[in-house]
Amino acid sequence: MSIPTQHKRSLDDDHVTRSRKKIRTTNSAQDAGSTHAWSLSFAGEETIIGDNNVQNASSTSIIADPSSFERLNLSERTMTAIKAMGFAAMTEIQRRAIPPLLAGKDVLGDAKTGSGKTLAFLIPAIEMLSDLRFKPRNGVGAIVISPTRELALQTFGVARELMEPHSQTYGIVMGGASRRAEAEKLSKGVNMLIATPGRLLDHLLNTPFVFKNLRTLVIDEADRILEVGFEEEMRKIVSILPNHTRQTMLFSATQTNKVEDLARISLRPGPLHVNVDEEKKFSTVEGLEQGYIVCESDKRFLLLFSFLRRMRHKKKKVVVFLSSCNSVDYHAELLNYIDLPVLCLHGKKKQQLRTNTFFEFCNAETGILLCTDVAARGLDIPAVDFIIQYDPPDSPREYVHRVGRTARGINGKGRSVLFLQPSEISFLTHLKAARVPTVEYECPKLLNIQSHLEKLVSSNYYLNKSAKDAFRSYLHAYASHSSRSVFDVYKLDLAKVAESFGFTTPPRVDITIGQSMQKQSAQRRKEYGKQPWQGQRKTTGVIPSY
């Protein structure tokens, strides 16, 4: 496949502007009150009474596509929080989803990552809690379910800032945290609860706490929740939670048969479908410039190192995607060893370390983060300048999720580059079919550190072992790729691939194991999602053969 050189752009072209915003921590205080679609009142310490319900309270006027939060008639306390967070104009998903949600409608929202959907579901939920004057003794009034602990923590941080002027309580339950401490807090009364599916179901079944007054259920990143293996847990959760007065919001970046099934059992009949992408020309956000570089496999690491060195000197913020936890670990160890500081994030790391790494990178002005797809999905990391897809994504959909880490929010800007080997050029056809625009970037001048790399890997026992694990995992991931017509492991020049890992001779690897692992991919993702043991499981089905 020929490549049109006249459209090549330089990776050094720098026109990306950023507005930096650090993660802040706040406390909650005081009470609030305004009226939207909720006209219920409390009676007693635990029970909400009243004949009206959210669905029938749609007489409240809906502002058609407002441009600013000021026009939504929100409570004074919520507006105070929104202004303190620096928001004024709304994104498209916020303009189209918040008014009907304030009116009590169930909403099925299609929105790509970075669209601002977190505020779109949190603001109506918080307004409901405020309008109904929820108190700790009334228990849980709103639940937000997130697919991963990192995304749950992120959503919790936004909720904490929005609820600072309000008196309602909030909390988070997730695997890896102290279950006893969570149960104690739930028993005291949590009005807004952020949760991962496994831990939420655990508490629903085994912890005595009040959730009969639930009025709002939010299912965020529904496609990802189902991808990581929580289909059965979600069915149980939906069946346990009260639904006679419940408003449900389901947000998903993609609509699959499983997402539609979940929507069918969780939403009331006739939900409002909000699709902000259907009329868009491209599947990715407008402020994102994205391209690719064609590079032989033996030069891939040299290209990555050269680019990261350049970005470090320019004080940029970069996220690099790799295909396996072992590859993330090896490249992080190697880059740090040769004096290029990086952070790394993947599902096998302990929860506290992952949390610390996430917030350290979020709050950094510049830096480099190496990560896997599962670990970074849905995370809102401020002011990312560049996304590097060092290893190929499994599909155009995964590509879109990866690049969604940059150019987020209104007028967000960012750039993305995909590393492709000559045998992988046909993947561009799949991206084009998925409405993903790309240009070819020129390959910059490479820093030739190959001999230094090979000396390091051969002389350092621990680095050598890590390199072998990474090499094996790379081949297994490649062999289990869903687009085998493009990413054919038998077309790889293993000697050249080995060079990119610092070997002069390729380690022996049984590629057929990697192919059999494709059938286990759903189980591996579910193992990642199993909250109490996440990050502690053993890798199975991979036998080193050096």
pLDDT digits (tens, 9 = 90+) for 151-160: 899 899 999 9
CA proximity to 119, closest of 28, 190, 220: 220
**Residue 16 resides in a domain:** no
The count of domains in the chain is 2
Regarding whether 296 and 200 lie in a shared domain, the answer is: no
Mean pLDDT is lowest, of 59-73, 176-190, 527-541, for 527-541
Percent pLDDT > 90 in the chain is 47
- Regarding whether 334 and 304 lie in a shared domain, the answer is yes
> Rounded to whole angstroms, how far apart are CA atoms 449 and 452?
5
Instruction: Give pTM, 2 decimals.
Output: 0.65
pLDDT value at residue 407: 52
Q: How far lies 252's CA from each of 106, 222, 340, 346, 419, in Å? A: 14, 5, 37, 22, 28
Question: Do residues 102 and 247 share a domain?
Answer: yes
> Among the three residues 248, 275, 302, which one is the final residue of a domain in this structure?
275
What are the residues whose beta carbons fall under 8 Å from the beta carbon of 126, sequence distance 6 or more?
78, 142, 159, 162, 163, 166, 168, 192
Check residue 80 and give its pLDDT.
95
Question: 513-525: buried (b, 16+ CB within 10 Å) or exposed (e) per residue?
Answer: bbbebeeeeeebb
Write the CATH number for 347: 3.40.50.300
Residues 485 and 502 occupy one common structural domain: yes
Q: What residue type is 396 in one-letter code?
A: P
Predicted local confidence at residue 278, as pLDDT: 54
State the first-to-last Cα distance of the chain, in angstroms, to the nearest integer.
35
Q: Is there a single domain that holds both residue 87 and residue 183? A: yes
Residues 110-124 have pLDDT tens digits of 876 667 889 999 999
Cα distances from 11 to residues 291, 311, 538, in angstroms, run 9, 10, 39
Q: Is residue 25 pLDDT above 80, yes or no?
A: no
- Which of 253, 275, 297 is at the close of a domain? 275
Whether 186 and 120 share a structural domain:
yes
| Residue 475 domain flag | yes
Does the residue 39 lie in any domain?
no
Q: Is residue 53 part of a domain?
A: no
CB proximity list for 64: less than 8 A, separation 6 or greater:
99
Q: Which residue has the higher pLDDT, 409 or 249?
A: 249
Coil vs helix vs strand at 279: coil
Asked whether the beta carbons of 99 and 63 are under 8 A apart, the reply is yes
Q: Name which of 239-248, 259-268, 427-436, 492-501 the model is least confident about.
A: 427-436
Q: What is the pLDDT of residues 345-358, one digit of tens each?
A: 988 888 788 888 98
Whether the pLDDT of residue 254 is over 50: the answer is yes
Residue 288 and residue 254 share a domain: no
SS3 534: coil
Q: What tokens does 186 get?
A: 């739930």
Range of the domain at 105: 59-275
251 forms beta bridges with 109
Measured in degrees and rounded to the nearest 5, phi and psi for residue 472 equal: -60, -45
Q: Is residue 244 part of a domain?
A: yes
Could you read off the pLDDT of 302-313 as tens digits, one per residue? 999 999 999 998
Do 379 and 525 lie in one domain? The reply is: yes
Residues 337 and 466 in one domain: yes
Q: Which residues pair with 273 in a beta bridge?
A: 108
Extract the tokens encoding 283. 């599947």
Residues 466-485: tens digit of each pLDDT: 999 999 999 999 998 888 88
**pLDDT value for 408:** 58
* DSSP-derived secondary structure for 478-505: HHT-S-TTTS-GGGS-HHHHHHHTT-SS
Q: Write down which residue in 275, 308, 335 finishes a domain.
A: 275
Asked if residue 544 belongs to a domain, the reply is no
Query: What is the pLDDT confidence band of residue 536, given thresholds at 50, 70 and 90?
Result: very low
Answer whether residue 453 is part of any domain: yes
Same domain, 219 and 288: no
Q: Are residues 472 and 499 in the same domain?
A: yes
Residue entry with tokens 């309000």: 166
Say whether both 82 and 207 belong to one domain: yes
Q: How far apart are CA 7 and CA 190, in angstroms?
A: 55
Whether residue 202 lies inside any domain: the answer is yes
